[in-house]
Amino acid sequence: MKSINYLQSEHDILYGLLDLLEKSTVKLENDRDVPPWMLRENMELIRLYTNGTHLDREETILSQVDISAAERDIIAKDHKKFKKMIRFLLRVIEAYDLGYQGARGVYVHYSKNFITMLREHMKSEEVLWASLAAKLKKADSKLVEEFNRIDTSMKRIREKGLVRMETLKKEYRKVAA
């Protein structure tokens, strides 16, 4: 199913960003410095994908199938939590950047929670997609068309995000060495 593969490719990007975030968090937990700009960039890229193209695609798929209001509500509540946590973590990163050492511990604690919550959410989405595959068969080509429209409307943002992600990975390798 092309539509589900589309979403999975975005999850793969998010898993990569979460891996970088986890490595940075572990470094901070072990009293090693991580440049604040790297933490900020990572969080902003996660926000770009979770609140941008991925959320649009997710809503498009859910509009094509009949799932319970409770399942829709869980997904919507999760996304609201992620938005709040990202905003909070960006503020903590700013405090860390300004030299507030207490911010390091706060960041480590909440970053770990955020990583765990987002990974669990993504895994539950993947289970949901697998269960919806049969229902989505008929709508797959329509969904792919809609996903292409989303890509076209957000092409520049997505391309810049991928470039920023590659830059972040390269810089992280330098810092990790």
CB 24 within 8 A of CB 92: no
* Type of residue at 94: E
Q: E strand or H helix at 105, and its extent?
A: helix 102-136
Q: Strand, coil or helix: what is 35?
A: coil
What pLDDT score does 3 carry?
Answer: 77
Apex CA 160: angle with CA 158 and CA 163, to 5°? 110
The DSSP output letter for 104 is: H
Which is more confidently placed, 37 or 67? 37
pLDDT at residue 135 is higher than 80: no
Global pTM reads 0.84
Residues ≥6 apart with Cβ < 8 Å to 67: 128, 132
The answer, yes or no, to whether residue 152 has pLDDT greater than 70, is yes
Residue 113 has pLDDT above 70, yes or no: yes
pLDDT score recorded for residue 129:
82
Annotated domain spans of the chain = 2-176
**Is domain 2-176 in CATH 1.20.120.520, yes or no?**
yes
Give the pLDDT band (50/70/90) at residue 177. low
Q: Is the pLDDT of residue 69 over 80?
A: no
Nearest to 114 by CA among 32, 31, 24: 24
Q: What is the mean pLDDT of the chain?
A: 86
| Whole-number Å distance between alpha carbons of 133 and 138 | 10
